[in-house]
A and B are shown apart, each in its own frame.
Chain A
């Protein structure tokens, strides 16, 4: 494993690399590419200004460490980065660089945006060893092209992140949960859309076809000051009454690991896929999943988690739909992990890769 702890060392290592490198953060997401493993070990918080809601941090910093520092000031990473260790059967510590490189966002994404929406600036080293900085540490910045977004979700294929600047948000006082048991996928999506279409600021809307009590469960989360959460729980409960009996609870915990980390699929042998779609298309897509598929919905139905038999070509099974499918677990037997690109965009992305990784050494073939 190549583990530079300084940006200059990393730049040298990449400039001199004689073959492909497998870029990884904490190794918790199970992404392994051809070549020598490379992990940027630079860690630590460079700057944290709670009053400005900004955090600048070295890419190798463990997410858990960041969350602890933020919690001490009553703040958090609002996009709710998932912990994939259970699902993927991996060990180690998730790093912020890995979270950003995979644009990993949890249930709150439906309300506040994805990891990339909280990324204010980056420093990275590209495949030729060039050190690049883009964006900054302020919330509004349109100075030049936005390479910040391009780096988020590029899975280490355009460059290795060394430092990221993030917008953080206050952690609300309490969370409230509404749950409805026994809904079909169609009714669950309708209920979640009805809730997300109200002004009562739902910060998570999830559904599982099998919960702890052996029945489907649809759950909504509200966050804020206690009086406000109580008020909104009441309003939503009345609003959702046509869908069935609504239970409400108040809690100090804002975390939803069951949905966020897809805990239900932990330890299984199935291939696990994520489908991004229009929420109203979700029931139709779920109906087209192979017999025996296990299903969870997040983002009000805009994200479908599906566990299917190993080797299933889910894109082929589903046929064309408005959105995209990514396999997050399983080898797939030649079925690409990422959704194929539109033909008109292939030359553009190949062109970008040729500029940022001219020798094609960074996580070779991972996104192709």
Chain B
């Protein structure tokens, strides 16, 4: 992975930069080599680089003060939520300051009549729901890292989750933000009301991977918890038929909250690991619906009827919380199961649901050509695939081979009308594939936005745009006098 050369003048000025940061953030600056190492990577652990220093502000004002110093010193800043990015979204450069929001985790207001919660963005996703669930509410986006990941990162990456088909992704549940711009200016976009007003800068910020500003507070939409939810498990002896089943369910006018798909390699691995009692079949669907007991029964009956017409090898409708937990057990341990047997790389392309059979077939062929096993587990309702490529990180050359296969699969996703990343973000991982999806004018339009918000290109450097494409816009940072 090509990264820009660290600026030797910044490295040489480390002492001065750290001292200026300490002045504005006493007790919030880390610069010892051994300690900054804790921030050398995120969840894409194949790439590591210790930063110049780390700042951990406790308030929006401290974030602003730190950014002002970095702006004046021309130092790149890598904003960091909880560091759970699978795309290298928080990978440091050697000449950067990591700006972590982990100390800012307060709930500032829970408002049930107006159905929002106002939080600092260092708060974890699951603990947002934790703060309101006793009162019958929840925060809908539920990325699988929700126990650890922070709202700051969710907003930066526009995170999704398993229940997007019904509830949408982060951008659909975000009402407003307090944000600090690259030069330290504090601003607010939107707030505790619907539609932010003016140009939709809120929509632009969400998913901009920390490159347009640092979001320190957010107003999030919360929803009343459904009365109940239960899944049905359906096994098929072909993935084409499973794909057809997904289409038929949606066409019938049912809108499940989740439709999850696992293929045989994935089923076998999770069975060996979790023993959930899944059938040994080609494709397995877990379809979950919500409502009162009677409403759930009616919807599950309709879905089961649709599935029956396609001759499933197994059809198991949950009738209780225990049965539901058992059906979800395998799916929820899928990634852990894969980690037990191998190193793996998790892809994140999205495809039109109608292309599912063709894409699965082609992934199978590519897997054979590269000699690397691929297991598929994904959100079938919205076409967001998560092919897991299994490899051995200790064997020289395997990571590179795995990355090549990953790139082939993502190109395939784009070719059939989909995209490179559905919910993980571009980061550094998909950066060099952006030209597969976008023409030069499309990328130029996006980089125009970057130019406007961060003319010095100091925020989250070397992510999203291929270095060759952004070279002319990334000017040398302004030198401090």
Interface residues of A (CB under 8 A from B): 49-54, 73-74, 103, 105, 109-110, 113-114, 116-117, 126, 130-134, 136-150, 152-154, 158, 169-173, 190, 193, 196-199, 224-225, 227-228, 231, 276-280, 299, 302-303, 322-324, 326, 338-339, 341-342, 344-345, 348-349, 351-352, 354-356, 367
Contact = CB atoms under 8 A, between A and B. Distances in A.
Given A143-B420, A193-B114, A227-B294, A74 B204 contact: no
A146 to B, nearest CB: 5
Nearest to B156: A142
Given A137-B352, A344-B185, 19 more contacts: A51-B247, A51-B250, A53-B250, A74-B253, A113-B172, A136-B417, A136-B419, A142-B425, A143-B421, A145-B450, A146-B171, A147-B445, A149-B200, A150-B203, A150-B449, A171-B253, A193-B115, A352-B199, A354-B452
B203 to A, nearest CB: 2
5 contacts: A110-B194, A113-B168, A133-B442, A138-B350, A143-B426
Interface in B38-67: none
Contact of B453 (A139, A143, A172, A348): A348
B35 interface: no
A138 B382 contact: yes
A276 B175 CA distance: 12
A140 B383 contact: yes
B446 A170 contact: no
Contacts of B434: 143-144
B200 A324 contact: no
A339 B452 contact: no
Contact of A150 (B137, B187, B199, B247): B199
A199 B138 CA distance: 11
A228 B421 CA distance: 37
B225 interface: yes
Contacts of B160: 140, 142
Contacts of A51: 246-248, 250-251, 353-354
Contact of A197 (B112, B252, B438): B112
Contacts of B453: 348, 351
Contact of A103 (B185, B200, B255, B353): B200
Given A141-B350, A345-B198, A149 B250 contact: no
A199 B203 contact: no
A218 B144 CA distance: 40
Interface in B186-226: 186-189, 191-195, 197-204, 206-208, 224-226
A142 B449 contact: no
Nearest to A193: B113
A322 B250 CA distance: 39
Contact of A356 (B193, B253, B448, B450): B448
Contacts of A171: 253
Interface in B224-276: 224-227, 246-248, 250-255
- Report whether over half of chain A's contact residues are helix, strand or loop; otherwise say mixed: mixed
B203 A116 contact: yes
B292 A231 contact: yes
A13 B421 CA distance: 35
B131 interface: no
B443 interface: yes
Given A116-B200, A146-B206, A146-B207, A276 B195 contact: yes
Pick the most buried of A109, A150, A341, A348: most chain B CB atoms within 10 A of its CB: A348
B197 A140 contact: no
Contacts of B164: 139-140
Given A139-B350, A146-B206, A278 B442 contact: no
Nearest to A340: B198
A355 B171 contact: no
B75 interface: no
B464 to A, nearest CB: 6
Interface of B: 111-115, 136-137, 157-158, 160, 164-165, 168-169, 171-172, 181, 185-189, 191-195, 197-204, 206-208, 224-227, 246-248, 250-255, 291-292, 294-295, 298-299, 350-354, 379, 382-384, 417-426, 430, 434, 437-439, 441-446, 448-453, 464
Contacts of A103: 195, 200
B438 to A, nearest CB: 6
Report, nearest first, the 6 A-B pairs whose CB atoms are least far apart.
A149-B203, A51-B247, A351-B452, A140-B422, A170-B253, A324-B197
Nearest to A150: B204
A227 B292 CA distance: 11
Given A103-B195, A144-B443, A146-B203, A280 B224 contact: no
Contacts of A190: 113
A298 B222 CA distance: 19
B448 A49 contact: no
B172 to A, nearest CB: 5
A199 B226 contact: yes
A338 B439 CA distance: 34
Contacts of A341: 198
B220 to A, nearest CB: 14
Contacts of B202: 149
Contacts of B253: 74, 170-173
Contacts of A149: 171, 200, 202-204, 206
Contact of B426 (A144, A196, A198): A144
A127 to B, nearest CB: 12
Nearest to B416: A138
Contact of A130 (B383, B424, B445): B445
A126 B445 contact: yes
Contact of A345 (B112, B201, B445): B201
Given A49-B354, A228-B295, A302-B193, A130 B441 contact: yes
A278 B114 contact: yes
B113 A279 contact: yes
Contacts of B194: 109-110, 114, 276, 299, 302-303
A299 B194 CA distance: 9
Given A144-B438, A150-B203, A152-B203, A339 B198 contact: yes
Contact of B199 (A138, A196, A367): A367
Contacts of B419: 136, 138, 141, 143
